[in-house]
């Protein structure tokens, strides 16, 4: 048989990523096995999280050694993750749609009229869209610092009824800032690819500019918009550092208001890992990897849902 | 420890020595030093950096890398043999010692913790373990609660909800704070106990903050807040205009974390410190003893795979508890030197590293 080194190498490389994914999932499942056995379904339905007394003798429950008093319930963190991410999407989507439409439709017109008075005016739109994309690459810890230095005092002094700015709303706003450029730049790319003919024929039929955008252009980029939102949701669900700094780090408490202290799954793993490492039974670390598995499943579900939505399988709304 | 990790460790050590031996002819001294790694407590990190700088200047062949990861990581990595020196604000638990009998907890210096508050219009404030336990359990929710008022006669306490601020990351500061609450409040001792992370009771207005710097900004951002912050941050705390509470000690006195009061506490347990030095200087007996004081530890395996490692660790740690305990190193982080009796115990433990 003829040896095909190129094909073999490319095949090997392309298998590397799925193999790594399978390895990670396998590791999480195997490593958290004992924790699953100990926790059962209470893991998902309990609000109480307690590493137990790591300085006392471990006890044996169901044949497994655990720190005395250990109790692992993550409902509060699942709630915190979903609440902050969806709230962030709620804030980010209108902002991003507005930004993208402004850049795609309003800026070129502004540019044309401005150029009549200032002929040497450099192109504005590429600069503006580059700025939007730049926001997407700002490291998350910078957003966290901004949150602590600017957002938290503002929320505390002017918005929060208790004077405490940390919590769900602060986390959602910081997340929204981080994901708005992701949605906006994806949408902007899609809008600029809408065929000129569609746009012009809509104008020719007597549509207003608003109708052209909402009826002729937005329906064509719907799938891309959903894709962008899911991409952004993925980042929001997994964001760690910025959330850790402003979320108030709630534990054993379900969010009841916009100013409730929350923890997200990702930030909670980071915050507990150091203490878990000094657990002589190692059960704390296993419980944390079980949480990681849950986060993985949530992200998977979100992505699968998005695939269905953007492929139109769940499309109930008729196209105009 | 598993056979495999031991094998790996020995292999790495042999390689390191081979590399060091190869480089030796270039060094001025014939002495061969192996590379050491220190990892752990972020509170100890600045001190280790100052120590390693001065130590390396005096011993050019020394090769020590410092990293800031967290006390728990320091303990875990030292036990696994991934680092030679684990830095920790907390000593090893009994269970960990039973599982790893060769791993030592060696005090290097003395640290302390302040209870700080952000109370507009209130100057001095007295607090006790039971009051703090009540606040962090959610039982005492108002600043003008009768329990707080009884401890502060003549102070006009505001009628405002208390914002309790705690560390959300694993922390030696949480360890010593909850040890103080456990030692002074029976209710806390039987339910929440102590540890580098505890299962904080749900309080609607609570704030979890990351690191001592996060605690400081959370307290500055929250009027009517209360927080426990490592003594290393006392300068920043004072600059932010935050108050420092006097705490009720075992002898029934309210005391501030002054150098004299911390030293008094350290001196009072110097003679009762056991040979393995795993003890907290929390809630100690004595009229001027500040109640939240602790040893800062190096976690070291006394059975090093290669003698050269043991020698390098011994030399460095001996230096830290003698010359390294000078005020020029400890002053900037507000740590205190070990009392002579404890220094002797630490030196004995260090000499056991083989």
Distance from the Cα of B171 to chain A's closest Cα (Å) equals 7
What confidence score (pLDDT) does residue A115 get? 86
Q: How far apart are CA A217 and CA A213, in angstroms?
A: 5
Of B75, B205, B208, the CB nearest to A249: B208
What confidence score (pLDDT) does residue B9 get? 54
Answer whether B168 sits within 8 Å of A263, measured CB to CB.
yes
Strands (E), B168-240: 207-209, 225-230
Q: Are B258 and B290 in contact (CB under 8 A)?
A: yes
Of A153, A261, A280, the CB nearest to B221: A153
Asked if residue B20 has pLDDT above 50, the reply is no
pLDDT category at A312 given cuts 50, 70, 90 is: low
Contact list, B93 vs chain A (CB under 8 Å): 54-55, 278, 280
Q: What is the pLDDT of residues B138-184, one digit of tens each?
A: 999 999 999 999 999 999 999 999 999 999 988 889 999 999 999 99
Q: What is the pLDDT of residues B242-256, one digit of tens each?
A: 999 999 999 999 999
Helix axes B129-137, B172-184, angle to 10 degrees: 110
For residue A231, what are the contacts with CB-CB under 8 A and spacing of at least 6? A182, A183, A186
Taking an 8 Å Cβ-Cβ cutoff, which residues of chain B contact chain A? Answer: 69-73, 75-76, 90, 93-96, 99, 161, 163, 166, 168-171, 193-210, 214, 217-218, 221-224
Average pLDDT over residues B60-87: 90
When mean pLDDT is compared across A137-141, B29-33, B323-327, the lowest value belongs to B29-33
pLDDT category at B39 given cuts 50, 70, 90 is: very high
Q: What is the ipTM of this complex?
A: 0.84
B160: closest chain A residue by CA: A162
B68: closest chain A residue by CA: A274
pLDDT category at B223 given cuts 50, 70, 90 is: very high
B86: closest chain A residue by CA: A278
Cα angle vertex B277, ends B274, B279, to 5°? 90
When mean pLDDT is compared across A111-125, A263-277, B45-59, B128-142, the lowest value belongs to A111-125
- Check residue A206 and give left, alpha or beta (phi > 0: left; psi -120 to 50: alpha): left
Mean pLDDT, rounded, of chain B: 89
Of B71, B96, B201, the CB nearest to A280: B96
Q: What is the pLDDT of residues B197-210, one digit of tens each?
A: 999 999 988 999 98
Average pLDDT over residues A192-212: 91
Answer whether B201 sits within 8 Å of A252, measured CB to CB.
yes
Of A164, A165, A275, the CB nearest to B197: A275
Average pLDDT over residues B290-311: 94
Asked if residue B219 has pLDDT above 90, the reply is yes
Contact list, A256 vs chain B (CB under 8 Å): 204
Was domain A84-263+295-319 assigned CATH 1.10.3720.10?
yes
Scanning A166-318, the segments in alpha helix (DSSP H) are 168-192, 196-204, 209-211, 222-238, 241-246, 265-277, 283-311
What confidence score (pLDDT) does residue B121 get? 87
Answer whether B204 sits within 8 Å of A49, measured CB to CB.
no
Of A156, A244, A271, the CB nearest to B222: A156
Distance from the Cα of B339 to chain A's closest Cα (Å) equals 26
What confidence score (pLDDT) does residue B17 get? 46
Asked if residue B10 has pLDDT above 60, the reply is no
Q: Which of the two residues, A25 and B12, has the higher pLDDT score?
A: A25
Domain ranges of chain A: 84-263+295-319
Asked if residue B22 has pLDDT above 70, the reply is no
Average pLDDT over residues A167-193: 94
Select from B204, B226, B240, B278 the residue whose CB has the most chain A CBs within 10 Å, as the one to mutate to test that interface.
Answer: B204
pLDDT category at B32 given cuts 50, 70, 90 is: low
Answer whether A249 sits within 8 Å of B95, measured CB to CB.
no
Q: Are B148 and B273 in contact (CB under 8 A)?
A: no
What confidence score (pLDDT) does residue B8 get? 52
Of A162, A251, A273, the CB nearest to B205: A162
Q: Which of the two residues, B10 and B282, has the higher pLDDT score?
A: B282
B65 forms beta bridges with B37
What confidence score (pLDDT) does residue B19 get? 46
B40: closest chain A residue by CA: A274
Asked if residue A311 has pLDDT above 90, the reply is no
Distance from the Cα of B166 to chain A's closest Cα (Å) equals 9
């Amino acid at each position: 048989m003829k040896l095909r080194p190129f094909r073999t190498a490319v095949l090997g490389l392309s298998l590397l990523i799925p193999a790594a994914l399978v390895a990670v999932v396998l590791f999480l499942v195997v490593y958290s096995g004992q924790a699953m056995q100990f926790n059962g379904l209470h893991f998902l339905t309990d609000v109480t999280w307690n590493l137990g007394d790591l300085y006392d003798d471990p006890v044996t429950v169901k044949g497994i050694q655990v720190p005395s008093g250990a109790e692992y319930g993550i409902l509060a963190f699942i709630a915190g993750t979903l609440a902050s991410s969806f709230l962030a999407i709620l804030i980010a989507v209108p902002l991003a749609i507005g930004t993208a439409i402004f850049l795609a439709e309003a800026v070129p017109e502004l540019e044309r009229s401005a150029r009549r008075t200032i002929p040497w005016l450099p192109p504005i739109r590429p600069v503006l869209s580059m700025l939007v994309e730049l926001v997407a690459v700002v490291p998350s810890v910078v957003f966290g610092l901004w949150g602590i230095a600017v957002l938290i005092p503002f929320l505390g002094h002017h918005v929060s009824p208790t004077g405490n700015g940390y919590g769900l709303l602060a986390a959602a706003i910081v997340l929204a800032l981080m994901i708005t450029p992701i949605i906006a730049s994806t949408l902007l790319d899609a809008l600029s690819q809408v065929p000129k003919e569609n746009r012009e024929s809509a104008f020719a039929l007597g549509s207003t500019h608003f109708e052209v955008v909402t009826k002729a252009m937005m329906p064509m980029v719907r799938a891309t918009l959903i894709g962008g939102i899911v991409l952004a949701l993925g980042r929001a669900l997994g964001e760690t550092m910025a959330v850790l700094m402003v979320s108030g780090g709630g534990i054993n408490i379900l969010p009841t208001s916009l100013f409730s202290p929350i923890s997200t799954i990702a930030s909670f793993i980071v915050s507990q890992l150091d203490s878990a490492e000094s657990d002589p039974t190692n059960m704390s670390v296993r419980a944390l990897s079980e949480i990681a598995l849950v986060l993985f499943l949530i992200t998977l579900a979100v992505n699968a849902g998005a695939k269905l939505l953007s492929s139109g399988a769940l499309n109930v709304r008729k196209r105009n | 420890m598993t056979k495999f990790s031991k094998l790996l460790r020995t292999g790495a050590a042999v390689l390191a020595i081979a590399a060091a031996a190869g480089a030796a002819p270039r060094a001025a001294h014939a002495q061969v030093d192996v590379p050491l790694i220190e990892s752990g407590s972020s509170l100890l990190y600045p001190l280790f950096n100052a120590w390693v700088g001065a130590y390396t200047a005096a011993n050019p062949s020394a090769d020590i890398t410092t990293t800031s990861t967290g006390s728990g990581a320091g303990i875990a990595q030292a036990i696994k043999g991934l680092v030679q020196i684990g830095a920790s604000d907390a000593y090893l638990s009994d269970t960990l010692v039973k599982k790893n009998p060769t791993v030592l907890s060696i005090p290097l210096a003395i640290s302390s913790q302040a209870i700080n508050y952000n109370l507009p219009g209130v100057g001095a404030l007295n607090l006790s373990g039971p009051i703090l336990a009540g606040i962090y359990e959610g039982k005492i929710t108002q600043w003008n609660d009768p329990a707080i008022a009884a401890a502060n006669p003549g102070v006009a306490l505001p009628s405002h909800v208390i914002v309790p601020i705690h560390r959300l990351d694993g922390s030696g500061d949480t360890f010593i704070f909850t040890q103080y609450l456990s030692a002074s409040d029976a209710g806390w001792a039987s339910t929440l106990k102590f540890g580098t992370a505890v299962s904080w009771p749900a309080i609607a207005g609570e704030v979890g903050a990351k690191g001592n710097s996060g605690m400081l900004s959370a307290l500055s951002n929250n009027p009517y807040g209360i927080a426990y912050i490592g003594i290393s941050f006392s300068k920043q705390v004072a600059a932010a205009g935050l108050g420092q509470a006097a705490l009720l000690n075992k002898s029934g006195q309210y005391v501030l974390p002054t150098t004299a009061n911390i030293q008094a506490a350290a001196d009072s347990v110097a003679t009762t410190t056991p040979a393995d030095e795993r003890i907290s200087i929390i809630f100690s007996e004595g009229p001027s003893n500040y109640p939240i004081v602790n040893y800062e530890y190096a976690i070291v395996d006394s059975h090093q795979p290669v003698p050269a490692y043991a020698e390098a660790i011994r030399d460095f740690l001996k230096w830290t508890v003698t010359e390294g305990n000078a005020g020029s190193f400890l002053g900037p982080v507000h740590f205190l030197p070990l009392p002579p009796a404890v220094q002797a115990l630490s030196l004995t433990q260090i000499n056991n590293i083989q």
